[in-house]
Structure 1
Amino acid sequence: MFMTDSKIRWGIIGPGSIAKAFRGGLENAQHGVLAAIATRDPNRPDLAEDFPGARILKGYDALLADPDIDAVYIAVPHTGHAEWAIKAAEAGKHVLVEKPLALSAHEIDAVFHAHRKAGTFAGEAFMYRLHPQVVQLIELIRSGAIGEVRMIQSSFGFSMGKFQPEHRLFASSLAGGGILDVGGYPVSMARLIAGAAIGKPFADPVKVRGTAKLNDEGTDDWAAAILTFKNGIIAQVSCAVMANLDNVLRIHGSEGRIEVPDFWFAAGDRTRGPGRIDIIKGGKTETLSLGEERHVYSFEADAASLAIKEGRTEFPAPGMSWADSLGNARVLDIWRKDAGIEYSIERPSVRTRTIDNRPLGPNTGVIPKRTIPGLAKSASAAALGFEDFKTFSSGAILLDAFWERGGNLFDTAFVYGAGYTEKLFGEWHTSRGVRENAVLIGKGAHSPLCYPDVIARQLTQSLDRLQTDYVDVYFMHRDNLDVPVGEFVDAMDAEVKAGRIRGPFGGSNWTKERFDEAIAYAERTGKTKPQALSNNFALAEMLDPIWDGCVTASTPDFKQWLIDRQVTNFSWSSQARGFFTDRAGREKTDNEELVRVWYNDQNFGRRDRAIELARRLGKSPIHVALAYVLAQPFPSVPLIGPRTLGELDDSLNAFEIQLTPEQVKWLEQG
């Protein structure tokens, strides 16, 4: 839906040099106008001169609260981008955020999640992408002007001359270095060209290898990376804040090459003259120039303003769409990981607040609490698994959100991520101060080290990584039928008596016969009885083990056993690993795991009924599948593994569904 024909009223947060450049763009724009700037020091004498006609507001919150501002240009240092972009969404403001949109792909995803919920526009300010010269370049590639594209070379580098540890371009606390400040330009251009070569808006590389020369702050003075794309294109990208690179884009094809000097300035940088594209074939050079005189930032300002007026939430191509920005950030994430760069602002001791720079909120929300036999604390009705996260700064985003939505049950294991999941949880609960109100699941003794004497040794190491002296729930991660079950019960009972397991324990992937044997042994010997299982349980019955040693509890006889014994089952793969999404279907056989583990007539019948019920309830089949696990007549706790805030919030739709016993039986038919 279009807004009125009036111009979009822009406010600027962070009135520095980039903000002044954007102001220049707005002065030449047709659809937007600068209305106000926000600064922590409104008495600076140069503000009125640098931003003529704009209202000067004290503090960024004042700008977000201003009803006469439609959209916000965020030009604060990198470390404030995600915070203020999210706060802008919460205030109902559209945003254009200076590159990089945030410090990592996970932070960018959190920004987009906030704007998706708000229905507001969010764009990353790579101004060159909206310039007509880029359209011309794409047309040349797609028309085959140099044949098939085979290699791309792109650089953006300058020299500050002297290392200045407190300067934003060097300081680790401000996410300094060239990779985030200017490396995104050559990466985004390489991805754009690789995409144009196959008729798409962009392409993501299948392999990234990066390196860098680091300074005493641990940030990069100069850096380079190789990007390999699926279609065989290889891109060499480089950036620097302490080296004057040639700053030329070179596209090598089977019949020639294209060179574009300073591609990010295009024709709008009046100090460098008109932009140009050189096509070099057969020893001859043809030079193309648009002769465009408009300010380079005016195209970006107009594109963002027009998108807002049209009711869009993201830039159309060739601007940076949300998927494009996320793909670009993933490359930068790998590049700096390969280079060994972790900013001090990302470390647990510093990042003690949420992504939008607030103290962690209360443990209340849509996820209800329940009692679990043998556990003194109340636990959330679902547990969070988070083994996909590789850094504290990325994992903390999801952990914070799960906590603030009412979740306090966390699933870890000795083997997950070679111990990183445990380390991450330890860093998180320590930085947030929530250990005593959290319910922690630990697991150990995974095959091939599935022996009683391993339990104590691994638990000692786990507790050290977890930064705690106990777990609330404990599972042997696998069973070993060659070992008498009593030896395992003895080992876990010893940990209960030592206070290192303070709630129920049992087995993950144990048969009901083995569990009965363990209970009988404990009763005979006066040992603590196992009270919990962690087996697969889902609306779809697992036909073939996902991994060796896996056991499902979804069969009718196992389910009846759980009902009769009232044993708590912590269900992994509780949503059948995508079987209830559009990744699966009778005609979709490309996913070997889905086909092998879930495909049969009974499961497809259940899937059909989940789809039908979801349609009646206004939900998705995956929500019905999770609600089914929650609605069992025995203590049933699903383990969920969302990787993004969007996936987390989507899963929580299941808590709005209260299935009746009749609906549960209907879903199980067949």
Structure 2
Amino acid sequence: MSMTKYKGDTAKLRLAVIGSGNMARRFLKQLPDSERCELRAIGDRDPASARLLADEVTHLYEGELICGTEIEVITSDQVDAVYIATVHTTHAEISLRAIAAGKHVLCEKPLTVNHAQAMAAVDAAQHSGVRLVEAMMFRFHPQMAAVRELVRGGAIGDVRHIDAGFSFLVPTERHEPTIVTPDLVIPDAGGHEGRLFDPNLAGGGILDVGCYPVSMARAIAGAAAGVEYLEPVELTGDGTLSDDGVDQWATAQLRFGNGVTASLRTGVWMVDNNTVQIVGSRGTIEMLDPWALSVSPRVVVRRLGHVPEEQAFPASGAYALQMDAFAASIAGPEPEAISNADSLGNAAALDRWREAIGVRYPFERDDAAIGTISALPLRVPAPGESNGTGEGGRTTARIEGLEKPVARIVMGCDHQPDLRTASALFDHYVTLGGNVFDTAHFYLGGQAERQLGRWIANRGIRDDVVVIGKGAHTPDCNPEALTRQLHESLDRQGTDHLDIYMLHRDNEDIPAGEFVDVLDQHADAGLIRVFGGSNWSVQRVAEANAWARANGKRGFSVLSNYFGLAEPSELPWPGCLGACDEESRSWLTEQQLPLFAWSARSRNFFARADPSDRSDELLVRCFYGPENFERKRRAEKLAQDHGVSPSAIAMAYVLHQPFPTFAMYGPKTLAESRDGFRAVEVDLTPEQVAWLHGDKP
């Protein structure tokens, strides 16, 4: 099928609806009211269900509808965009399939089951040049815009608190149906076998409708601060779970950085008034039909010394407004109602709420065989292949003693909170062309090594990746502890060897030769391939290698110290050493010893540092200074010239040294990962490298 070319012009967006359940039916009732979209197709995993739905709505549409499987409809050249109305667990996979086919995507809430999946969908859409929008319907209704404007304008003074609930009682074998509004009847969820009670289908109230009050609270707190949204600095939760681990009802308490607090409620086994109240220093705003918008959407404003004021809004049309905003955004900026960044923040907050009450679905657990988010095999680029990230020759290098090429951008494994997030980040890094993972016995109390080992096993790519392990961290920095920790690391990772092994710290009370002897023994046994030191001085490395030469042993093949464009006044943690000084740089150049530069982005100094912002004590203590802010200014200038971020310039600086270098980073998001990897695209001249650093000619 040929790829469609809809650009948001006068022609209507040709839309396919994916799914044939209640949500699709509700959507299709309003689609004829859209000024910018027209229905062309209905797809479902069961094409017969798609045909049945098409027959139901045929009186609403002109012309023959295309019906078929999800993939058949997504790849049709008669379709420009898809609206996804399937169960939560399929949102990410279908979104990625549609994006890969060049189709714009309007995906029903929640955008995905968790933040890791949401990152993958957003990254894919932004990198592919198609529009992805979360169908959080109430955000597109004029009622929401009016409330945000009231808050921004100070109608009730300073916002203090938000109270929001969205719950319903699902018809089950134990309960008679309780109907709060007509839109909340869910006949296909009756009984404990329905999707809302199935942990394998991401059941429960938090994802199904709790996403609404979370989104509302973040938006209102943001409006109070004059921004699009705010993220909660604190989130606690409570609730009741089913025997299968699904949240039947749950509450959350949020606090935002501007002092606003929020109390949220949700559930599939609880009746609520389903309203929103915003409490200010001089009054309140109440939304009486904030979610379904089908009975009587009204906003009541009560202010001190004033008669209550009421605004009424249309009781329908939100889906059509949503569709038109989606279609318009294809030719312009993201919809004002909700951005991808907003959706990512909501997904992260929902993760926190679920984590607070102990809801983690079976397919998310750290012992699960978590597959790729697309459900397709992970594509491992061939050695040296650029994969769209720069020239292949700059992406990898060779280290003596290793048969595999080594990516020059190295993924740190100490920032991933769980396997689902680690899997998304690691998969993404590999597709960019990366193959080196840096971990340590010390990281996250062993969780980092277990997650990495589990991911490698799930993907079956141990022979394709280079694993760096580290041990003998202070106070257990001695040959005996090294041996014990090495075996524990191998066991945690489920592997029989580590490609590179480094001492995590140095202990100068022990002769360097004693460390060399035990490392050489482990190399003889095949447990490690090459070894070196992290946070070792070049003098101690020279001592170790002199001992090795004199005694017929292997020496240190690598060093891993801090090295970056921003030079620290002190290093963040005890026992750390840098290699920014002239003596270290000269020795590394003379010896041509590969340096793995940890924190190559200088703790995100080039992205986050602001002389007026001193909230990050560690960043301020280590990197704030006039020389570094001048280097930041120069990096920003080169970043504009090269079309990359200042952080990518900082990493490129590391890669353009007269000795072999590898830039280590620990991205927490896919956007950070992609941004950092762009360093391999940057070609700096020796003069630019010197200018960045401030060297005198």
Fold shared by both chains (TM-score > 0.5):
yes
Inter-CA distance 575–133: structure 2 relative to 1 (3 Å threshold): closer
8 Å contact 1:39–1:56 — kept in the other structure? Answer: no
Partner of 1:636: 661
The amino acid of 2:647's aligned partner reads: I
Inter-CA distance 325–665: structure 2 relative to 1 (3 Å threshold): closer
Partner of 2:549: 523
The amino acid of 1:538's aligned partner reads: G
The residue matched to 1:48 in structure 2 has which SS? helix
CA offset at residue 620 of structure 1?
4.3
Alpha-carbon distance in structure 2 between the residues aligned to 1:638 and 1:116? 25
8 Å contact 1:151–1:252 — kept in the other structure? Answer: yes
Cα-to-partner distance string for 1:459-516 (whole Å, 9 max, x where unaligned): 2222222111221111111112223333323332332233322x22121111111112
Question: Structure 1 residue 108 and structure 2 residue 133: aligned?
Answer: no
Partner of 1:288: 310
Question: Structure 1 residue 361 and structure 2 residue 393: aligned?
Answer: no
The amino acid of 2:580's aligned partner reads: S
Inter-CA distance 4–477: structure 2 relative to 1 (3 Å threshold): same
The amino acid of 1:478's aligned partner reads: R
The residue matched to 1:362 in structure 2 has which SS? coil
The amino acid of 2:664's aligned partner reads: L
Alpha-carbon distance in structure 1 between the residues aligned to 2:230 and 2:345? 8
Alpha-carbon distance in structure 2 between the residues aligned to 1:327 and 1:585? 23
The amino acid of 1:569's aligned partner reads: L
Inter-CA distance 618–222: structure 2 relative to 1 (3 Å threshold): closer
Inter-CA distance 219–563: structure 2 relative to 1 (3 Å threshold): same
CA offset at residue 448 of structure 1?
2.5
Q: 2:332 aligns with which of 295, 311, 316?
A: 311
Inter-CA distance 348–577: structure 2 relative to 1 (3 Å threshold): closer
The residue matched to 2:603 in structure 1 has which SS? helix
Alpha-carbon distance in structure 2 between the residues aligned to 1:604 and 1:142? 35
Partner of 2:481: 454
The residue matched to 1:43 in structure 2 has which SS? helix
Inter-CA distance 331–608: structure 2 relative to 1 (3 Å threshold): closer
Unaligned ranges ≥5, structure 2: 1-5, 174-190, 387-391
The residue matched to 1:638 in structure 2 has which SS? strand
Unaligned ranges ≥5, structure 1: none
Cα-to-partner distance string for 1:383-415 (whole Å, 9 max, x where unaligned): 211321111111111211222232211100112
The amino acid of 2:678's aligned partner reads: N
Q: 2:346 aligns with which of 328, 333, 356?
A: 328
Question: Structure 1 residue 571 and structure 2 residue 597: aligned?
Answer: yes
Alpha-carbon distance in structure 1 between the residues aligned to 2:265 and 2:92? 25
Question: Structure 1 residue 41 and structure 2 residue 41: aligned?
Answer: no
Alpha-carbon distance in structure 1 between the residues aligned to 2:144 and 2:646? 42
Inter-CA distance 362–148: structure 2 relative to 1 (3 Å threshold): closer
CA offset at residue 617 of structure 1?
4.3
Inter-CA distance 261–90: structure 2 relative to 1 (3 Å threshold): same
Deviates more, 1:169-178 or 1:481-490: 481-490
Partner of 1:557: 583
Partner of 1:11: 16
8 Å contact 1:195–1:203 — kept in the other structure? Answer: yes
The residue matched to 1:197 in structure 2 has which SS? helix
Cα-to-partner distance string for 1:141-193 (whole Å, 9 max, x where unaligned): 34444443322221111122437454211212111111111111111112222
Matches within 5 A, 1:599-610: 610=635
CA offset at residue 321 of structure 1?
1.5
Inter-CA distance 466–113: structure 2 relative to 1 (3 Å threshold): same
Matches within 5 A, 1:19-30: 19-30=24-35
CA offset at residue 605 of structure 1?
6.0
Deviates more, 1:472-481 or 1:148-157: 148-157
Alpha-carbon distance in structure 1 between the residues aligned to 2:413 and 2:584? 28
Q: In angstroms, what is the RMSD of aligned CA positions? A: 2.8
Alpha-carbon distance in structure 2 between the residues aligned to 1:196 and 1:602? 37
Partner of 1:155: 165
Alpha-carbon distance in structure 1 between the residues aligned to 2:298 and 2:641? 58
Alpha-carbon distance in structure 2 between the residues aligned to 1:614 and 1:338? 40
8 Å contact 1:248–1:261 — kept in the other structure? Answer: yes
Inter-CA distance 68–593: structure 2 relative to 1 (3 Å threshold): same
Question: Structure 1 residue 88 and structure 2 residue 98: aligned?
Answer: yes
CA offset at residue 346 of structure 1?
2.2
The amino acid of 2:604's aligned partner reads: G
Matches within 5 A, 1:219-618: 219-266=246-293, 269=294, 272=295, 274-280=296-302, 286=308, 288-308=310-330, 310-312=331-333, 314-316=334-336, 319-347=337-365, 351-364=369-382, 365-366=385-386, 368-501=395-528, 503-579=529-605, 581=606, 583-584=608-609, 593-594=618-619, 596-598=621-623, 610-611=635-636, 613-618=638-643
CA offset at residue 540 of structure 1?
3.8
TM-score by length of 1: 0.91
8 Å contact 1:385–1:641 — kept in the other structure? Answer: yes
Q: Identity of counterpart residues, as a percentage?
A: 41
Cα-to-partner distance string for 1:68-122 (whole Å, 9 max, x where unaligned): 3222111111111112222222222221111000112232122121221222222
Inter-CA distance 260–615: structure 2 relative to 1 (3 Å threshold): closer
The amino acid of 2:397's aligned partner reads: R
CA offset at residue 655 of structure 1?
1.9
Inter-CA distance 249–587: structure 2 relative to 1 (3 Å threshold): closer
Alpha-carbon distance in structure 2 between the residues aligned to 1:560 and 1:280? 71
CA offset at residue 244 of structure 1?
1.7
TM-score by length of 2: 0.88
Alpha-carbon distance in structure 1 between the residues aligned to 2:156 and 2:636? 50
The amino acid of 1:491's aligned partner reads: V
Alpha-carbon distance in structure 2 between the residues aligned to 1:114 and 1:38? 22
Deviates more, 1:585-594 or 1:321-330: 585-594
The amino acid of 1:382's aligned partner reads: I
8 Å contact 1:363–1:408 — kept in the other structure? Answer: no
Inter-CA distance 61–335: structure 2 relative to 1 (3 Å threshold): same
Question: Structure 1 residue 130 and structure 2 residue 140: aligned?
Answer: yes
The residue matched to 2:559 in structure 1 has which SS? strand
8 Å contact 1:2–1:311 — kept in the other structure? Answer: no
How many pairs were matched up? 659
The residue matched to 1:207 in structure 2 has which SS? strand
CA offset at residue 439 of structure 1?
1.0
